[in-house]
Amino acid sequence: MPLDDPVVQKILLISALYVFALAAFLGYQVISRVPPLLHTPLMSATNAISGISLVGSIVTAGAQYNTVSTILGFIAVVCSTTNVVGGFVITDRMLKMFKRKEIVKKD
Amino acid sequence: MQFYFIEFSYLLASIFFILGLKGMSHPESAKRGMHLAEFGMLMAIIGTLMHHEIITYTWILAGLAIGSVVGLAMGVWVPMTAMPQRTALSHAFGAFAAALVGISEFYRFGGHLENRVMMGALGFEVMLGALTTTGSLLAFAKLQGLVRGTPMTYKGQNVFNMALLAVTIGIFVYLIVVPGSMPLFFVMVGLAFIFGLLLVMPIGSADMPVVMSLLNSYAGLASAATGFVLSNKVLIIAGTLDGFSGFILSILMCRAMNRSMTNVLFGAFGSAATAAASGEQDGTMREVGLDDIATQLAYANKVVFVPGYGLATAQAQHAVRELADVLEKRGVTVKYGIHPVAGRMPGHMNVLLAEANVPYSSLYELEQINPEFPTTDVAVVIGANDVVNPDARDNPGSPIAGMPILEVDRSKSVVVLKRGQGKGFSGLENPLFFKPVTGMLYGDAKDTLTRLVQAVQHA
């Protein structure tokens, strides 16, 4: 069946809604357990992770639908990659700074 | 085969993202968790590169290279004090990318998106993406000091903003019902860009933790909407996690200020109108000598440091740590009390102190440290103001009434390190400064703390 078939579209939408609802529930459970101590790294980590919109940008930039799409896709790839790389690097950098007492004493 | 490879890489990425965030429940597991998430991201990117619609890799590789260089530079060189600005900027990037993908999808179909569900998701994506982009950029400008941090208000602001939002949503609904108008779509996008600016304009710097969290949430939801448009599950999952994380944080921040979301967004807190409500304070502030404080600290049993945004602006986190070291060598117990909204983003103070090598076991949350103040000999307030304002507890008429505070005024002695005699960001008078137990030490926090270190060593 082709992807733009109405039946396929309906199935895709419903399964997407399931994924959304379950992810929302899971997100609530997981994020509630993060202590205030780590709220800044949490924010930069979720930021890096939501840079996954990169996968959408990549297809748009490479599929040659038309010139406008390619240009917009290219800019989107730059923006998302900046977020992914910058976000993960900075989260790692921050998390490395959180040290236990014994380790701090050794320094 | 290729289909399964791509979908499997996305599934793997989703699982690793969730495990990565789960690790964030403790500093020790967080590092490993992040490596999992990074691996998941790599898998998803490799999987996507196999996508059958991709014809040319030139622009993709160029974009990946430029983004990596910029991201790496930002990641390595941004100082911890500038973390709120950097985060605001990255919200803008993420949201802009989502908006661009949406616009490009719309353009690709020549505006003829007959599928209403698809058009709905796409509209959400583009609107949220656009308003988050400009909103985050303005937040960045405020945090970076490019524009003034005070709320910008004018008469009829809320009415005007609501009207603009109503028009934007009206166009959105029209586009779903009657598809096909390219110009209207771009009007909607333009209005959403403008609305983002208007939304952040009336919000003061002190409320930035809430705004940052909200923009975080919007950026995530824009990504999730992209997932609906592209029928891409990993995008939905990652976007939703981000969206919910931001949402939960913004609720926590509001609760830590005892204010509703509506009040934060539309109340223009910290403008001239709210400041007038606080009234004048009787009595005088008692200025104390550096050597007196040094002696007090040196012979204390327990000292609690309470940092605020002033610590970040003065870059004084290392100086605090030095003072704490000297005191601990003399047998003084040193703790740090951190208010949830101290600083300009959630958890800002914790990161700064961790950078200065303060072990995380010495950092205490509000509920943990408050019972300890009565047995504290000296509480040292460094560049914090509203979060230690006893009016929040004692004066029901105060604009910040009911906000949970760090009750430093219950300790035996309080020292307030302050740049000058001016008021805090909220413009409120702080009765703590006029209490008999409180001594004021004026000057640059870093400089004062460094001189205290020397004075304590000679005490």
pLDDT score of B282: 63
> Average per-residue pLDDT in chain B?
89
- In DSSP terms, which residues pair with B441 in a beta bridge? B417
Nearest C-alpha in B relative to A10? B117
- The helix or strand, by DSSP H or E, that contains position B453, with its residue range, turns out to be helix B445-458
| Least trusted range by pLDDT, from B11-15, B45-49, B265-269, B445-449 | B265-269
Where does the pLDDT of residue B281 fall: very low under 50, low under 70, confident under 90, or very high at 90 and above? low
Q: Summarize the confidence of residues B91-97 as an average pLDDT.
A: 94
Q: What per-residue confidence (pLDDT) applies to B307?
A: 94
Taking each helix axis as running N to C, give the angle between helix B27-49 and helix A54-62, from 0 to 180 degrees, rounded to the nearest 10: 20
CA distance B92 to B74: 14
Residue B439, SS3 per DSSP: strand
Domain ranges of chain A: 1-33, 36-106
How far, in Å, CA of B255 to CA of B367, rounded? Answer: 13
B349 in Cβ contact with B342 (< 8 Å): yes
Domain boundaries, chain B: 1-77, 86-270, 290-458
As a whole number, mean pLDDT of residues B417-442 equals 81
pLDDT of residue A4: 67
pLDDT at B286: 85
Q: How far apart are the C-alpha atoms of B358 and B376, rounded to whole Å?
A: 19
Can you list the alpha helix ranges (DSSP code H) found in chain A? Answer: 6-32, 39-50, 54-62, 67-97, 101-106
Residue B116 has pLDDT above 90, yes or no: no
Rg (CA), chain A: 20
Instruction: Identify the residue with better confidence: B181 or B339.
Output: B339
For residue B267, the 8-state DSSP code is S
pLDDT tens figures, A36-90 = 999 999 999 999 998 999 999 999 999 888 898 999 999 999 999 999 999 999 9
Q: Give the largest CA-CA distance in chain A.
A: 65
Q: Between B86, B232, B236, which is nearest A23 by CB? A: B236
Which residue does chain B place closest to A56, by CA atoms?
B101
* Catalytic residue check, B386: yes
Residues in chain A: 107
Q: Which CATH class is domain B290-458?
A: alpha beta
Rounded CA separation B180/B46 (Å): 35
Give A3's pLDDT tier (boundaries 50, 70, 90).
low
- B427 to B28, B150, B209, B342, B430: CA distances (angstroms): 40, 10, 18, 16, 9
Q: How confident is the model over A6-28, as a mean pLDDT?
A: 90
**Residue reference for tokens 């029209």:** B174
Whole-angstrom distance, CA of residue B88 vs CA of residue B150 = 17
Q: What is the pLDDT of residue B180?
A: 77
Interface of B with A in 238-267 (CB under 8 A): 238-246, 248-249, 252
Contact residues, chain A, for B74 at CB < 8 Å:
82, 86, 89-90
Summarize pLDDT for B348-387 with one digit per residue, the tens.
Answer: 999 999 999 999 999 999 999 999 999 999 999 998 888 9
pTM to 2 decimals?
0.90
pLDDT mean over B239-266: 88
Taking a C-beta distance cutoff of 8 angstroms, is the pair B57, B329 a contact? no
CA distance B322 to B449: 8
* Own/partner pairs, B272-277, CB within 8 angstroms, 24+ separation: B272/B427, B274/B399, B274/B426, B274/B427, B275/B423, B275/B426, B275/B427, B275/B428, B277/B397, B277/B398, B277/B399
* Amino acid of residue B433: F
What is the Cα–Cα distance from B412 to B428, expressed in whole angstroms? 24
What value does the mean pLDDT take over residues B100-121? 83
CA B284, distance to chain mean position in Å, is: 35
Mean pLDDT score, B398-426: 84
Q: Tell me which of B193 and A3 has the higher pLDDT.
A: B193
Q: Find residues 173-202 of chain B whose CB sits inside 8 Å of chain A.
A: none
Contacts of A102 (CB under 8 A, 6+ apart): none
Supply the pLDDT for residue B396. 87
Does B276 score more than 80 pLDDT?
no
Q: Residue B181: what pLDDT? A: 84
ipTM over the 0.90 cut-off: yes
Contact B97 A64 (CB under 8 A): no
Q: Name which of A1, A50, A85, A90 to mutate to probe chain B: the one with the most chain B Cβ atoms within 10 A of its Cβ.
A: A50
Q: Identify residue B129 by its one-letter amino acid code.
A: G
Contact B286, B414 (CB under 8 A): no
pLDDT at B274 over 60: no
B273 pLDDT more than 70: no
Question: CA B241: distance to chain centroid?
Answer: 17
Asked if residues B336 and B303 have their Cβ atoms less than 8 Å apart, the reply is no
Interface of A with B in 40-59 (CB under 8 A): 40-59
Mean pLDDT across the stretch B265-274?
A: 63
- Choose among B238, B249, B243, B240: nearest CA to B17: B238
Cβ distance of A88 and B338 shorter than 8 Å: no
User: Over the stretch B125-150, which tens digit does the pLDDT of each residue have?
Assistant: 999 999 999 999 999 999 998 888 88
pLDDT at A71: 93
What local confidence, expressed as pLDDT, does residue A107 receive? Answer: 54
Torsion over CA: B98, B99, B103, B106 (sign) = positive
